[in-house]
């Protein structure tokens, strides 16, 4: 059941769009921590989706301070870097996250037995290993928390703290929507948060090992994702039923 604080006046029974509008209006000048607290108050049944990638530690740290037992969904595509798997375990322990759920697709053996699907059809591989398992994992929840930010692409330039996900009617919470790149770096430094080990090796954006390469100085941070192709998004975010192909994943 959706909830709301007393000053939202009956929005709990109104459509999700009304609740989202009320939350965005009330929290216009608030920070990420306040957004998370309000999110858990209004939509208690929330999950946080994390890739445990280059910037993931910021959102995970914030969430751990507000609700340490928030369900954290981590999709193991079975093609991730070994460094990512180790980082996931170490970070969960350090932040004392008590409800990390590691999700894997159950049909890889039949649809990609030789593990070459990514060479033939990257979209199909992402759908098989990440998008479909995530949608299944999110099915029991009324909303989810992402690490998306306005600066990541033009399509996210007007991103709000709260939105209704088209097609599922779930509420998406974007506590870091208004953060700039320097805000992310400063937060990591101030809180002495551990970086993903591959960042120091030239990987500012980290996905599956076969489809991620180092980025040279001066290149776009996501240049190493699906290099030499027109693909730059795994497909976990959708607008009007279509895969969003701009900006970094959460």
- Residues annotated as part of the active site: 234
The three state secondary structure string of the chain is: CCCCCHHHCCHHHCCHHHHHHHHHHHCCCCCHHHHHHHHHHHCCCEEEECCCCCCHHHHHHHHHHHCCCCCEEEECCCCECHHHHHHHHHHHHHCCCCCEEEECCCCHHHHCCCCCHHHHCHHHHHHHHHHHHHHHHHCCCCEEECCCCHHHCHHHCCCCCEEECCCCCCEEECCCCCCCHHHHHHHHHHCCCCCCCCHHHCCCCCCEHHHECCCCCCCCCCCCECCCCCCCCCCCCEECCEECCCCCCC
């Amino acid at each position: 059941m959706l909830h709301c604080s007393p000053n939202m006046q009956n929005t709990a029974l109104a459509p999700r769009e009304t609740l989202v509008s009320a939350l965005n209006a009330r929290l216009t000048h608030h920070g990420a921590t306040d957004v998370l607290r309000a999110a858990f108050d209004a939509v208690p049944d929330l999950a946080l989706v994390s890739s445990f990638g280059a910037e993931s530690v910021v959102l995970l740290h914030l969430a751990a301070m507000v609700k340490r037992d928030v369900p954290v969904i981590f999709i193991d595509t079975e093609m991730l870097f070994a460094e990512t798997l180790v980082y996931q375990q170490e970070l969960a322990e350090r932040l004392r996250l008590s409800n990390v759920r590691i999700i894997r697709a159950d049909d890889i053996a039949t649809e990609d037995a030789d593990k070459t699907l990514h060479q033939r059809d990257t979209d199909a591989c992402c759908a098989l290993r990440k998008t479909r398992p995530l949608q299944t994992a999110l099915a029991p929840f009324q909303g989810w928390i992402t690490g998306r930010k306005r600066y990541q692409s033009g399509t996210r330039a007007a991103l709000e703290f709260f939105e209704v996900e088209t097609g599922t009617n779930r509420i998406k919470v974007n506590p870091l929507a208004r953060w700039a790149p320097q805000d992310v770096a400063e937060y990591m430094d101030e809180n002495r948060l551990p970086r993903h080990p591959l960042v120091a090796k030239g990987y500012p954006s980290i996905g599956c090992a076969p489809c991620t390469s180092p980025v040279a100085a001066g290149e776009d941070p996501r240049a190493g994702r699906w290099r030499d192709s027109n693909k730059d998004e795994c497909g976990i975010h959708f607008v009007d039923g279509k895969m969003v192909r701009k900006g970094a994943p959460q």
